Amino acid sequence: MPSNEHDAALTGNNREEPPAFSPEWAFFLDVDGTLLDIADHPHSIRVDPGLRHLLRELLALTDGALALVSGRAIADIDRLLASANFCVAGQHGAERRDAAGRLHLHRLSLGKLRRAGLRLRRLVAEHPQLVLEDKGMSLALHYRLAPQLGEEVRDVMRAMVDKLGDRFELQTGKMVFEIKVGGTDKGAAIEEYMREKPFRKRLPVFVGDDLTDEAGFEFVNRVGGHSIKVGEGVSSARWRLADANAVRAWLGTFIDRHRSADQAS
């Protein structure tokens, strides 16, 4: 049985007991819906200053084996979480900053994507409740404020991907459709990190909440790590946390346990 209220928030899809915390874990954390509560607009996200402190402590306890893995651009994550010293994979792995601070990009011509962005801006002008997020190497069209437009958004985005060719693909998310670089996903980004220090030879733990996180769950499952789904919905993840607040509490428990263990030793 779970040993405390934080462990009780974590339940396995296969009804096994939650995994025991280990200092040998490497943490991979999604941002929106996982560390942060989802907002109606991507730019209206509110960040508790305590979260930044929690992430810094987690980074220290894991000797740097912590990466944020998000659909947001790296620059946007740095702005939100003051994460310039963190490993970050942005835009579903199209860009990735490693532990040495090197930036890895999937190179491609973005001219067609820029033209697609202009067409989407015209669509947003016709439907002001839609929110277009231009991340540089991907385009996300959010319809959270206009759920009745979901099918139209899907059809428009799908048609654009068909015109852009096989270098791009359509990614479905929570009340959003996104045109992103083909062949990139969060699973591939995590796999790249696992080949590098300080992640190499550790056990990967990935926490995410959305369809965009399933590739990450699948990779982590394949290598025997721990995959944790936040919120409801069918998922390949092995464990589950209720919401972003439960994620922060669970990470806090990890920090408290290992700080106590260090003091005892």
Contact 129, 41 (CB under 8 A): no
Give the Cα separation of 64 and 241 in Å (integer).
Answer: 24
Which residue intervals of 35-106 are DSSP H helices?
A: 49-61, 74-81
Contact 219, 191 (CB under 8 A): yes
CA distances from 231 to 9, 34, 101, 219, 262 (A): 11, 9, 32, 20, 32
Helix axes 49-61, 74-81, angle to 10 degrees: 110
* Catalytic machinery residues: 30
Residue type for position 105: L
Give the Cα separation of 186 and 128 in Å (integer).
Answer: 30
Radius of gyration, CA atoms only, the chain: 19
What's the start-to-end Cα distance of the chain, in Å?
Answer: 27
Contact 22, 16 (CB under 8 A): no
For residues 144, 149, 154, 159, the Cα torsion angle rounded to the nearest 10 degrees is -130
